[in-house]
Amino acid sequence: MKTVVITGSARGLGFEMAKVFRKNHFNVVLSDLSEENLLKARDLLLEINSDAKVSYHICNVTKEEDIKQLVQFAINEFNAIDIWINNAGVNQPDLPIWELEDNDIKLILDIDLKGAILGSKYAIKEMIKEKKGAIYNIEGYGSNDAKMLGLSLYGTAKRGVTYFTEALAKECSTTNNNIIIGKLSPGIMITDFITNALANKEKIELSEKTKKVYNILGDYPDVVANYLVEKMIKNRKNNVKINWLPNWKAAWRFMTAGFNKRDFFQEKK
C-alpha cells in the first residue's frame, strides 16, 4: 500500500487531496499547525471506506525540526513515503511591499517558499535511500511571472517555488533514482485562503471585480483535488506540471461567462 504525506492538510486543497488519495487506497499522513483541526480532518477521512490508514502529525513548515520529524513519523508509521506534497501556504495582506510588516514578510517567505524547499530537502533524503518517490510543490499567482497589486510578495514566493522545483527536477535527473519532482497548478480555488491573509490573521476584502473573476475562473478545492490526484497517481515523468487551469481553459471560461451562473460568494456549499 502506498503512502502520501501532505503539509497544510487540515483544510482546503490539502485536505481535499487527502480524501482523494484515501479513496485510492493510499495511507495518508495529514499535517498542519493545530491538533484540533487535524483530529477533525482525520475523523472526516476515516468516514471514507478504505483499507488504508490515516495518521496525523503536527508540523509547522517554518520549523526545520518539525519537517524532519514529520518525515521520520511517516517512515516509522508506513516505512516509506511514495508521494510528498508541499501544500502548506498563506496569502498575503492586500498591501504594497512597503506597508507590509517585516515579520509578515518573513512569515510569508518562510511558509510559501522556504517551507517547500525544506519539505523537499528532507523528503528527498528518504526517497534517495529508497531510490523512488515523488515530490510535488504547489504553484500560485506569480509562478508564471504575472504581477498584481497586493500580491507582490506571495508572487515572489511562488515564482521562487516554480524555479526551485524545476531546478530540483534537473538535479534529480542527473541521479540514477526514479524520483519524480513536479509542480501542481491549482488555478483559483474557493477556500479560506482567498479571504484570509497569513492563515486567518487578517481578512482580505474582495472587490466586486475580483469576485466576478473568481466566479468565472474559480472552483471548489474538491473538484481541483480530484483532477490533480488522478494525474499524480498516473504520473511517471520527472519535471511535470499538472495544470488545472491552462490558458485555453481560462479563455474558454471567459468566452462562456454569460452562461455561467455560479456565485461562490452567495451560496454556501
Q: Which residues of this chain interact with ligand NAD, rule CB under 6 A?
A: 7-8, 10-14, 32-33, 59-62, 87-90, 111, 138, 140, 186, 188-189, 191-194, 199, 221
Cell triple for residue 212?
466576478
Which amino acid is it at 241?
K
Pick from 127, 233, 135: which is nearest to 177 by CA? Answer: 127
The residue annotated as part of the active site, out of 154, 163, 220, 227, is: 154
Beta-carbon contacts of 237 under 8 Å, excluding residues fewer than 6 positions away, are 180
Instruction: Please say which residue, 34 or 175, places its beta carbon nearer to ligand NAD.
Output: 34
Q: Cβ–Cβ contacts within 10 Å for residue 103, how many?
A: 9
Cell triple for residue 160?
521562487
- Minimum Å gap between C-beta 1 and ligand NAD is 25
Instruction: Please say which residue, 131 or 203, places its beta carbon nearer to ligand NAD.
Output: 203
Instruction: Please say which residue, 194 or 213, places its beta carbon nearer to ligand NAD.
Output: 194
For residues 32 and 59, is the Cβ–Cβ distance under 8 A? Answer: yes
CA atoms within 13 A on the CB side of 192: 16
Beta-carbon contacts of 93 under 8 Å, excluding residues fewer than 6 positions away, are 100, 104, 150, 197, 198, 202, 204
Q: Cβ–Cβ contacts within 10 Å for residue 62, how many?
A: 17
Instruction: Please say which residue, 88 or 180, places its beta carbon nearer to ligand NAD.
Output: 88
Q: Output phi, psi for 50, to 5 deg.
A: -160, 150
Instruction: Please say which residue, 33 or 48, places its beta carbon nearer to ligand NAD.
Output: 33
Q: Output phi, psi for 215, to 5 deg.
A: -65, -30
- Minimum Å gap between C-beta 103 and ligand NAD is 13
- Minimum Å gap between C-beta 106 and ligand NAD is 12
- Minimum Å gap between C-beta 172 and ligand NAD is 21
Pick from 252, 185, 262: which is nearest to 218 by CA? Answer: 262
Pick from 138, 124, 232, 139: which is nearest to 172 by CA? Answer: 124
Say whether 136 is catalytic. no
Residue nearest to ligand NAD (CB): 12
- Minimum Å gap between C-beta 138 and ligand NAD is 4
- Residues tagged active-site: 154
